[in-house]
Structure 1
Amino acid sequence: MALLVHLLACTFGLGSWVAINGLWVELPLIVSVLPEGWELPSYLTVIIQLANLGPLLVTLMHKLRPGQLNERAVIYAILSVGILACFLLAFFWRETTVMAGMAHSTAFLVITFFLSLVDCTSSVTFLPFMMQLPPEYITTYFIGEGLSGFIPGLVALGQGVGISKCVNVTQSIENGTETLQSPHAIETQYLPANFSTEVFFFFLAAMMTMSLVAFALLNRVPRMYQLSTENLVGDSVASVSSGLDNPAAEGVPGGGKGEEAGQSRPLLSKPGYTVSQLAFIYLLVVWVNGLTNGVLPSVQTYSCMSYGTVAYHLSAALSSMANPMACLIAMFLPKRSLVFLGVLSLVGTGFGAYNMGMAALSPCPVLQGTAAGNAIIVLSWVFFTGALSYVKVMVGVILRDQSHSALVWCGAAVQVGSMVGALTMFPLVNVYHLFQSGDVCNTKCPL
């Protein structure tokens, strides 16, 4: 029973961000077809932030009309919309319309808005639903959420997204009345994909369908646990409700006296936090998610691509793997100390600062063209993602213990951090062009 619930919780978590993560890893193929070209990511950034209307409405409903929002109905609705949107993308993503004399991928952008609405709203609906289950399953849910980025990344790597090679080409140079041929020009060419973008979108639809089925089955779990614990003695009930959120229960002695004490003082098993500590926890949520969901992803290409396509793909795949690995570590080695989580956030921020520095130095970062430089940038991305993912999991577990409302506001803080990070980076990347891209085959850097 427990293993099945863990599997369902993980599969349910897959539906949280799999659609948007899938779109981002597929962009290298999409931008070569749609008329917006490389401006398309800036459009998507704005669309995703507009989709924060969904979590805003859910949060306001919880605040203004507590208890009246049917979260299960909302989850069924958004997962169904996500499945439909993925299928529509597979058929209509290439369609364009002419507006103001220019072609635009209107269908792709509109459907992407609904996918973004699904994923953003999941932050304030999926987590509160998981409160109905014993606390150990929330970590499994975070593993599934991490896999929602890792699995599409692996599929995209198998598809061959972004893999390039340097080839010699012949260029024609006009020189007055003569046309000279230059046989020594080098050009970056991307290898064709192993399967089409349409197949990839069908894969995303299948992932969303699996998440919907898992949610439908999870709806039966709280009733099953209630029936299975009705005839158990008090200490057995305590053991079911312990886990990550009840470390104090491990030291309660057995027998009638210990059981009676546990019943008379049930709140002692949950740590209390002051207003300033809760403010610090929510600040961590905003900061960590701002870095991992907004700031650093905006410059990962600039940070890694100058070291070559191998370094870029390794950093993308391994950093995605670091997320679920951090969740597994949090499951077996939980650490609730706010001091520890604060220090770990600083360590992760330090690795993020190195990544940002290499992006700012693009297309000529330090140690470019060396094995050490490649290894350092890959490891920096892995440790950055892993450290902050551990913080996100443990903060989620801590707030889960406080109340249903605390977890809802946790989801809102996730979206606020992500939005602030993305909106901060958008003008720096797309308006002021503080980060410069380089051609792997032709960029020459000073020694």
Structure 2
Amino acid sequence: MTLLTHLLACTFGTGSWVAINGLWVELPLLVTVLPEQWDLPSYITIIIQMANVGPLFVTLMHRFRPGLLKEVAVIYVVVSVGVVACLLLAFLWNYTSPIAGRPHSTAFLILTFFLALVDCTSSVTFLPFMMQLQPQYLTTFFIGEGLSGLIPALIALGQGSGISSCTNVTHVVNFTTGNETVESTVFQLETRYLPANFSTHLFFLLMTVMMLACLLAFFFLARQPKVWELSQQQLFPSSIMLSSFDQIPNEGAGSRLSGGCPCPKDAKGPRNILPQKVSYPLAKLTFIYLLIAWVSALTNGVLPSVQSYSCLPYGNTAYHLAATLSSMANPLACIVAMVLPGRSLALLGTLTMAGTGFGAYNMAIAVMSPCPLLQQSQWGDATIVLSWVLFTGTLSYVKVMAGVILRSRSRSALVWYGAVEQLGSLLGALLMFPLVNVYGFFKSADYCSLQCPA
């Protein structure tokens, strides 16, 4: 039953961000079809932040009316909405309509909002739900959350989305000189997109299957509370388990309630990186939440808005690899966190600075678009892909370990983890959207017809 619970927790975790992660890895194909083109990532980013009304509502209800909102029912609702939205997206993703005289992918953007509503709300509902399980299952959940990026990335790699080549195209141009019409042959390089191995329609259907798997996993987890209670009683017969998930402990609750699992100091379960309840002074707790806000702003708001501008100047292949491999870096960071946990705040601060440095390089390249450093060079392609992978990997490790630390403090701390994560993401997106879509700070161009100074 322990192995089954691990499997269910992992599958449940895959549904947390699989829909939005699926959109990100499919972007190399979507930007070539949808009318927003290179600006599409910034639209997705701001829509995701608009969907923060979901976690905001849940957080306020948790604060002012504890116990009124049945979180199990909330999870059922949001995951079901995710299933329906993914299914509709498979059939309506390329539907466009004019807005203010310009075509926009209205169906795609509207359904993206509902998918984002599901995923953002998962930040403040899925994690508190995991408090019902033994501590090691939270790590399994984080691995599943990482797989929500890895699996779509593997599917996108198999799909070969957005791969292109430069083709020499011949154009015949007619021009008139006096009374004579002269034909002239012009040779020009143009981008030709190679057909994907399977369609976007099938890709979103596969995302629908993953959301259904998440719904089924949660159904069985919610229906088997006695399995968790029995396993706890066998390990610690004197412990007292929460009788209901909907009981919400406050900051003044007893140590066993606020700590989740009342494990003795010498208890070391398999792969258990979560110790007994730990108390941090206010200054260190504030530092942890500031790290979460900063890392979330970079990874969910600032850098995703300009990924197309930092990668597409090196070609669609570089963009494709950066989008998919950086998504794979997230679950790898979760595995590293499980094998080599680092609870030192100094270490987390150092990794945050390193990840910020990689993010600064990606941003600098985006500012230089469409003529960045090392363009038309394999070194430039490799550097931008590696920078995106390291940026995502280092900061993902920081987020996972911050969740581990707060899990050892209280259930309420995890709720506020999700709230601060979404707040940081919102501020990052609000900063970047006007720079990209209003002021046109970043420039796009066709890769094959670029004419940059040597």
Give the TM-score normalised by structure 2: 0.86
Give deviations 1:197-226, integer Å, cap 9, x for gaps. 221121111010011111112224542121
The structure-2 alpha-carbon separation of the partners of 1:309 and 1:290, relative to structure 1 and needing over 3 Å to count, comes to same
Deviates further, 107-116 or 405-414: 107-116
- What is the aligned partner in structure 2 of residue 255 from structure 1? none
* Contact kept? 2:38, 2:444, Cα under 8 Å: no
- What is the aligned partner in structure 2 of residue 19 from structure 1? 19
Q: Which residue identity does 2:298 align to in structure 1?
A: L
- What is the aligned partner in structure 1 of residue 198 from structure 2? 195
Please tell me the root mean square deviation across aligned C-alpha atoms, in Å: 2.8
User: Secondary structure at the residue paired with 2:373?
Assistant: coil
* Contact kept? 2:124, 2:418, Cα under 8 Å: yes
User: Secondary structure at the residue paired with 1:219?
Assistant: helix
Cα deviation, residue 446, structure 1: 2.7
Q: Identify the structure with bigger relative contact order (alpha carbons < 8 Å, sequence gap 6+).
A: 2
Matched, 1:275 2:297: no
User: Secondary structure at the residue paired with 1:438?
Assistant: coil
* Contact kept? 2:354, 2:394, Cα under 8 Å: yes
Task: State how far apart, in whole Å, the 2-side matches of 1:102 and 1:446 are.
Answer: 33
User: Secondary structure at the residue paired with 2:132?
Assistant: coil
Q: Percent identity?
A: 63
Matched, 1:341 2:348: yes
* Contact kept? 1:245, 1:398, Cα under 8 Å: no
* 1:43-442 correspondence runs (5 A): 43-97=43-97, 104-176=104-176, 178=181, 180-232=183-235, 249-250=265-266, 269-442=276-449
* Contact kept? 1:90, 1:199, Cα under 8 Å: yes
Cα deviation, residue 276, structure 1: 1.3
Cα deviation, residue 235, structure 1: 9.6
* Contact kept? 2:75, 2:125, Cα under 8 Å: yes
Cα deviation, residue 40, structure 1: 4.5
Q: Which residue identity does 1:4 align to in structure 2?
A: L
* Contact kept? 1:245, 1:397, Cα under 8 Å: no
Q: Which residue identity does 2:69 align to in structure 1?
A: L
Q: Which residue identity does 2:188 align to in structure 1?
A: A
Q: Which residue identity does 1:225 align to in structure 2?
A: W
Deviates further, 270-279 or 407-416: 270-279
Matched length:
428
Task: State how far apart, in whole Å, the 1-side matches of 2:7 and 2:368 are.
Answer: 43
Deviates further, 92-101 or 197-206: 92-101
The structure-2 alpha-carbon separation of the partners of 1:32 and 1:359, relative to structure 1 and needing over 3 Å to count, comes to closer
User: Secondary structure at the residue paired with 2:365?
Assistant: helix
Give 1 or 2: higher helix fraction: 1
The structure-2 alpha-carbon separation of the partners of 1:145 and 1:180, relative to structure 1 and needing over 3 Å to count, comes to farther
Give deviations 1:291-311, integer Å, cap 9, x for gaps. 111111122222222233333
Task: State how far apart, in whole Å, the 2-side matches of 1:439 and 1:102 are.
Answer: 21
5+ long unaligned stretches in structure 1: 253-267
The structure-2 alpha-carbon separation of the partners of 1:41 and 1:306, relative to structure 1 and needing over 3 Å to count, comes to closer
Q: Which residue identity does 1:304 align to in structure 2?
A: C
The structure-2 alpha-carbon separation of the partners of 1:97 and 1:379, relative to structure 1 and needing over 3 Å to count, comes to closer
Task: State how far apart, in whole Å, the 1-side matches of 2:38 and 2:351 are.
Answer: 36
Give deviations 1:68-119, integer Å, cap 9, x for gaps. 2111110011111111111122233344556677655443333222112111
* Contact kept? 2:277, 2:410, Cα under 8 Å: no
Task: State how far apart, in whole Å, the 1-side matches of 2:236 and 2:26 are.
Answer: 53
The structure-2 alpha-carbon separation of the partners of 1:10 and 1:180, relative to structure 1 and needing over 3 Å to count, comes to farther
Task: State how far apart, in whole Å, the 2-side matches of 1:94 and 1:379 are.
Answer: 31
Task: State how far apart, in whole Å, the 1-side matches of 2:22 and 2:187 are.
Answer: 38
The structure-2 alpha-carbon separation of the partners of 1:28 and 1:384, relative to structure 1 and needing over 3 Å to count, comes to closer
Cα deviation, residue 60, structure 1: 0.6
Task: State how far apart, in whole Å, the 2-side matches of 1:25 and 1:131 are.
Answer: 31
Q: Which residue identity does 2:205 align to in structure 1?
A: F
Q: Which residue identity does 1:317 align to in structure 2?
A: T
Give deviations 1:173-193, integer Å, cap 9, x for gaps. 342363634342110111122
Deviates further, 173-182 or 307-316: 173-182
Cα deviation, residue 41, structure 1: 4.2
Task: State how far apart, in whole Å, the 1-side matches of 2:450 and 2:100 are.
Answer: 37
* Contact kept? 1:14, 1:144, Cα under 8 Å: yes
* Contact kept? 1:303, 1:362, Cα under 8 Å: yes
Q: Which residue identity does 2:377 align to in structure 1?
A: T
- What is the aligned partner in structure 2 of residue 263 from structure 1? none
User: Secondary structure at the residue paired with 2:189?
Assistant: strand
* Contact kept? 2:161, 2:320, Cα under 8 Å: no
Q: Which residue identity does 2:17 align to in structure 1?
A: W
* Contact kept? 1:90, 1:201, Cα under 8 Å: yes
User: Secondary structure at the residue paired with 2:183?
Assistant: strand
The structure-2 alpha-carbon separation of the partners of 1:84 and 1:179, relative to structure 1 and needing over 3 Å to count, comes to farther
Deviates further, 422-431 or 151-160: 151-160
Cα deviation, residue 38, structure 1: 5.2
User: Secondary structure at the residue paired with 2:280?
Assistant: coil
* Contact kept? 2:310, 2:363, Cα under 8 Å: yes
Cα deviation, residue 345, structure 1: 0.6
Q: Which residue identity does 2:208 align to in structure 1?
A: A
- What is the aligned partner in structure 2 of residue 265 from structure 1? none
Task: State how far apart, in whole Å, the 2-side matches of 1:418 and 1:41 are.
Answer: 14
Give deviations 1:365-405, integer Å, cap 9, x for gaps. 22233333333222222211111111000000111122121
Give the TM-score normalised by structure 1: 0.87
Deviates further, 208-217 or 21-30: 21-30
Task: State how far apart, in whole Å, the 1-side matches of 2:262 and 2:387 are.
Answer: 34
Task: State how far apart, in whole Å, the 2-side matches of 1:78 and 1:331 are.
Answer: 28
User: Secondary structure at the residue paired with 1:176?
Assistant: strand
* Contact kept? 2:86, 2:207, Cα under 8 Å: yes
Task: State how far apart, in whole Å, the 2-side matches of 1:194 and 1:270 are.
Answer: 50
Cα deviation, residue 132, structure 1: 1.1
